[in-house]
Structure 1
């Protein structure tokens, strides 16, 4: 069994926590100045990138160069790409309806409530989900099959997420598709190619950490990320009232996989002449 520098890893924890505080603390100040907390969505990807950089610097080369290099570069590329995409998408828009609804229920000062319910919660989840990346920076085993499968899975996920976002952006910017449902391209096979891709990215990064002990101990991190995307704050919230806002969405849901890409269900006609 490969030795793991537990002391060095624990010594890096304050720096990764500080990275979270700096990113989200700065975002909170920006949100107060702009008057909208939707900017916290941009910091989601940037926070992971900052944690990866902090862990890499704190490791001081303690881990295998190839494994730690993959963990650093792939996390930063994913995080920055996501931040830029969300930033461009939200530019010129007001507050996110999710945060409007949440802050309307604030029992006291809405800004302190937002700090606790939005920023603190996101920071805790961000740090926990990033544990595989943090551990990978200190992994001393050599790259193996798990490493390369992880890189391949990251590529698949990053492609799904990026292409899915591009297709959705093009669809939203086309005036002729107003009120319609995107059911072409990757969106023909899954209602959320970007969320599916996101999950693959984090399973890929986790497999890189699983290359050696104790990366396998961080398996709860990708499980949490997948749950959030498929069952938590991702897919369910996005689809909450979609059917009422977009005619045809209920039929789209009937024939299209909710998460994992699958061939769409065929539209069949029952003997009575009714669609089924």
Structure 2
């Protein structure tokens, strides 16, 4: 009899579906908003954003009715990304002291709530392939199939590129000698947004790794990598960063030349895409 409540709790835990995880996602982010708005701070935003990914990924794996190697694999992939990115973003905001995105919003509770709600939507939509995989009664074929290999390879490439680009830019900004300058070294010498290329690539890898465990309408979760791309291309990624860079350095000839010789996303020499046409024009 003493085991009754724990058995019921465990059974309830195992029955958690997408709606339950959506509620937990909102609870984390709205709770974070309430505290952050009261304190007028932005230092918890990225911590709880990546923390939401970690909570939902590991929680849905633990709650899975049927355990499967693929569920463990993809959950670990998301967890590794979340820990890496979360640690970087939290360290950066505490080092810098603030996040310029929220200088005004954190003083306006409703506007700040919109940012936190958008973050919750980002977490849930982006994580949908894994949530569908973990809440499914099966996890696809037990053996590794070709799509798993492709997915893991894309994920690894994307994670390495994103982590390298983030580290290079952070080190560049922390060097007093580079104050007021734009970065044009390392991966940033080939691409103006190599970190975003890595982010897009790794989420395509996660989705592809999930596909052999999905079926029918569950493939609507392709919205995950498409949403990440749309977000970075049209909303909070490239448009904001590019506009900021143009305001700072748009009139500087060196920056104009930098834009001409680099790709927008893919961190490889631009000549690989346009051949001789990338070279200097004859007078």
The residue that corresponds to 2:164 in the other structure is: 163
Q: 2:94 aligns with which of 91, 96, 110?
A: 91
In 2: Cα distance, 1:189 partner to 1:267 partner: 15
Q: 2:257 aligns with which of 239, 251, 254?
A: 251
Q: 2:20 aligns with which of 12, 15, 26?
A: 15
Select between 92-101 and 65-74 the one with higher mean Cα deviation. Answer: 92-101
- Cα gap change, 1:113/1:171 in structure 2, threshold over 3 Å: closer, same or farther? closer
Contact 1:199 1:225 in 2 (8 A): yes
Higher helix share: 2
The residue that corresponds to 1:128 in the other structure is: 125
The residue that corresponds to 2:115 in the other structure is: 118
Contact 1:12 1:58 in 2 (8 A): no
Q: SS of the counterpart of 2:81?
A: helix
In 2: Cα distance, 1:263 partner to 1:9 partner: 50
Q: 1:54 aligns with which of 36, 55, 59?
A: 59
Give 5+ residue unaligned stretches, structure 1.
Answer: 1-7, 105-109, 272-276
Q: 1:235 aligns with which of 234, 238, 255?
A: 238
Contact 2:160 2:198 in 1 (8 A): yes
Cα RMSD of the aligned pairs, angstroms, is 2.4
Alpha-carbon deviation of 1:154?
0.7
Alpha-carbon deviation of 1:267?
5.3
Alpha-carbon deviation of 1:152?
1.0
Alpha-carbon deviation of 1:191?
1.1
**Residue 223 of structure 2 corresponds to residue 220 of structure 1:** yes
In 1: Cα distance, 2:235 partner to 2:224 partner: 14
Give 5+ residue unaligned stretches, structure 2.
Answer: 1-12, 272-277
In 1: Cα distance, 2:234 partner to 2:175 partner: 30
Count of matched residue positions in the alignment of Structure 1 and Structure 2? 256
Alignment of 1:255-274 (within 5 A): 255-264=261-270, 266=278, 268-271=280-283
Select between 190-199 and 20-29 the one with higher mean Cα deviation. Answer: 20-29
In 1: Cα distance, 2:270 partner to 2:178 partner: 21
Q: SS of the counterpart of 2:235?
A: coil
Contact 1:157 1:200 in 2 (8 A): yes
- Output one character per residue of 1:239-272: Cα deviation in whole Å (capped at 9) or x when no partner: 112123134333222211111233135551541x
Alpha-carbon deviation of 1:125?
2.5
User: What is the TM-score of this pair, normalised by structure 1?
Assistant: 0.83
